[in-house]
Amino acid sequence: MKKALSLIAAALVLFSAVYVSAAPKKVRLAYLRNDLHHLAAWVAIEKGFFREEGIDVEVAGIFNAGPEEMSAFASRSIDAGYLGVAPSTTGVANKSAGVKALSLANSEGSAIVVGKDSTLRSVKDLAGKTVAIPGYATVQDFLLRRALESAGVDAKEVNIIVIKPPEMITALGARQIDAFIAWEPHPSKAATGGIGRVLITSGKIWKGHPCCVVAVEDSFYRENPAAVKALRKAHVRATEFIRKNPDEAVRIGQKYTGMDEATLRAAMKNIQYHYDMNKEDIKAYLQYLLGFGYIKTVDIDSLIREYIAPEGRNGSAR
């Protein structure tokens, strides 16, 4: 009898060990509010790709801009997140937070918007005007400054203020601002809502520019290689799904943004969904961020090696 009980106890211990090891790893995920660039995250949640790859994803933060999300990474209240290249590289360069970029989430996908009846016809016309950005050191801040520089306008000639994207269209309609730059679908919503029109898309500011990435907090990256691999695999599957099933992807986007189908279809024409990163594009970001004074003098090549995880170094974003 004792022998039988011992065998049962041993079997239970073995079963418990197997069950625990097979339990999905919990991953606390974040993304930006109503950011269609992060559609792959929503697709992976809705289609069960995260779960199928063996991870239990909990949405632990929905932020208004990338710098806020980097603060969450710094406090280790999230493990992974979708956010812009600019705030994530800025955080790593300035040692305010440590993350590894696993994959690109998208390229292009932002626009400078002016009022529907505005007399502004070019970027050069923004001199002396008030332009809203989602936050300093965001991709959109970077793109605006690059556009102004290309147009021969000193950024000091423009009153650049911070307004969260969900409030930008209202501010534009009330003429509290002359223009804004935001991620999709906000530019398209301004147009379909009869409030604004696109002055210039980000693809015309910098063709094919990388925009958002899937990033993982440094310690989580080191300690959970299997979960990290699963996260990237689910993201790749979701990105491929968007390409092959645009109609269903639009419906998922509607659920997470609350915006209408026409707006999302227009917005998705301005976004390229990719997952492989090109380090030369990231280097271009860093050189501009240095010039804008957002990051301190660094060895850019070393920073890129620190920032881009080996899983993400598979080729070009285009």
- Rounded to an integer, what distance in angstroms lies between the CA atom of residue 179 and that of residue 36? 20
Tell me the CATH number at 129: 3.40.190.10
Based on the domain organization, do 120 and 101 belong to the same domain? Answer: no
Is 8 within a domain?
no
Of 217, 206, 180, 215, nearest to 288 (Cα)?
A: 206
How far apart, in Å, are the Cα atoms of 278 and each of 36, 88, 159, 314, 316? 21, 16, 33, 8, 4
Is 163 within a domain?
yes
Is 317 within a domain?
no
Based on the domain organization, do 157 and 302 belong to the same domain? Answer: no
DSSP state of 24: P
Is 16 within a domain?
no
Based on the domain organization, do 200 and 239 belong to the same domain? Answer: no
Listed residues 153, 175, 205: the one ending a domain: 205
Any residues with CB less than 8 A from the CB of 179 and at least 6 apart, and which? Answer: 112, 113, 114, 115, 118, 120, 126, 129, 130, 131, 132, 172, 199
**Mind listing the pLDDT tens digit for each residue in 27-54?**
999 999 999 999 999 999 999 999 999 9
DSSP state of 292: H
Angle at 270 between CA 266 and CA 272, to 5 degrees: 125
Listed residues 205, 237, 265: the one ending a domain: 205
Q: Could you tell me the two tokens for 54?
A: 């063996």
Q: What is the pLDDT of residue 159?
A: 98
**Mind listing the pLDDT tens digit for each residue in 229-267?**
999 999 999 999 999 999 999 999 999 999 999 999 999
Of 156, 180, 184, nearest to 168 (Cα)?
A: 180
Regions in the chain scoring below 70 on pLDDT: 1-22, 312-318
Give 160's strand partners.
131
Is 151 within a domain?
yes
Listed residues 205, 230, 261: the one ending a domain: 205
- Rounded to an integer, what distance in angstroms lies between the CA atom of residue 93 and that of residue 298? 7
Structural domains of the chain, count? 2
Is 38 within a domain?
yes
Of 304, 311, 276, nearest to 93 (Cα)?
A: 304
Q: What is the pLDDT of residue 312?
A: 63
Cβ-contact 116, 194 below 8 angstroms = yes
Is 264 within a domain?
yes
Question: 43: domain range?
Answer: 26-108+209-312
Pairing state between β 179-183 and 130-133 = parallel
Q: What is the pLDDT of residue 22?
A: 55
SS3 48: coil
